[in-house]
Amino acid sequence: MADFRDTLYEKYFQTQNGRRHNNANLEQKIKDNWLQLEHEILPLIPGKKDARILDLGCGYGELLMLFNSKGFTQTEGIDISPQQIEMAKELNVPNAQVADAFAYLASQKNAFDIITGIDIVEHFSKDELVKLLALIKEALKPGGIAIFRTPNMDAPFTSTYAFGDYTHQSFLNYSSAEQLFNSIEFSKVEVLPSFIRVKGALKEALRKLVWANLIFQSKLTLFASGKSTKGVYFTPNLIIKVTK
C-alpha cells in the first residue's frame, strides 16, 4: 500500500504552500515570511557567517534565501517534495535538493553547525520523530544547535494551525516539547513563543488589544481549572532551540 506522502508531497507546492499564490504574490509572501523568520529564527543563529547550515524541509527555499541575504555562505537544504525543490530552483535558490531526511542525516555525522526545521516536526509520526531528532543530534557538530518551529497545541483555535495541512501527524505544547527533546539528551533545550503581527499599524494595534484580552481569559480559564500557567504559551507556534 502506498504511503500517503507519495500522493500529498508529489505536488505539495501546488496543493498546499502555493495554492493561493501566483508568481507575483508569492514574492510578497516570501517577504512577509522573512519578517516572521527575522523575529523568530535569526536572533537564535550565531553570527559566524561561514557556519555550515542545513535547512530540513526547506520547501521552496525562503529561509535559505534569507540566510544568503544575511551573508551566510555555507547553506544547503533538502526536501522530500520534488515540486518544492523545482520551485526553489525557479527562484534561484542554490544548494537545495530532493532527499529523504533520514538517509541524508545518517550520512552526515558531526557535519553541521546549525540545523533548522521550520514547520517539519508535525509532519512525522511519533516513532519517526524520535528517530529523526536522534539523527539530527548526530549530524550536529559538538556544541551545534538545531532550531525548530511547530504548531503549539495550547494556542487558541489551535486546530487552524495543527490541522490546516493533511500531512500533519505529531503535535506539541511546551511541556511535551521539553519532554521530547530532553529525552533525546540534547545538552540544552529552550522552548520559546513565536512572533505574532499583522500588516498595518491600526490592525496591529487592534490585534495587540484583542490578544491581551484573549490571553487574560485563557489564563483565567486555566486558573479556574486548577492548572498553573507556568510553562504554557498561547502563541500559534512554538520555537524550540536545542544544543548538542
**Mean pLDDT in the chain?**
91
CA 6, chain centre distance (Å): 22
Which pTM does this prediction carry?
0.91
Q: Model confidence over 2-45: pLDDT tens digits?
A: 578 778 777 777 766 655 555 557 777 888 889 899 999 999 99
CB 54 within 8 A of CB 112: yes
Residue 85's CB: how many other CB atoms inside 10 A? 23
Q: Model confidence over 119-161: pLDDT tens digits?
A: 999 999 999 999 999 999 999 999 999 999 999 999 998 888 8
Q: What share of the chain is helix, strand, coil (3-state, %, to 5)?
A: 45, 20, 35
Following DSSP, what letter does each residue of 111-138 receive, concatenated? Answer: -EEEEEEET-GGGS-HHHHHHHHHHHHH
Q: Model confidence over 222-242: pLDDT tens digits?
A: 999 998 888 899 999 999 999
Amino acid letter, residue 40: E
Q: Model confidence over 179-215: pLDDT tens digits?
A: 999 999 999 999 999 999 988 999 999 999 999 999 9
Q: Model confidence over 54-105: pLDDT tens digits?
A: 999 999 999 999 999 999 999 999 999 898 999 999 999 989 999 999 999 9
**Residue 20: per-residue pLDDT:** 58
**Residue 137: per-residue pLDDT:** 98
What's the fold here for domain 4-201+236-243?
Answer: Rossmann fold (3.40.50)
**CB contact set of 233 (below 8 Å; sequence gap of 6+):** 152, 154, 155, 173, 174, 191, 192, 193
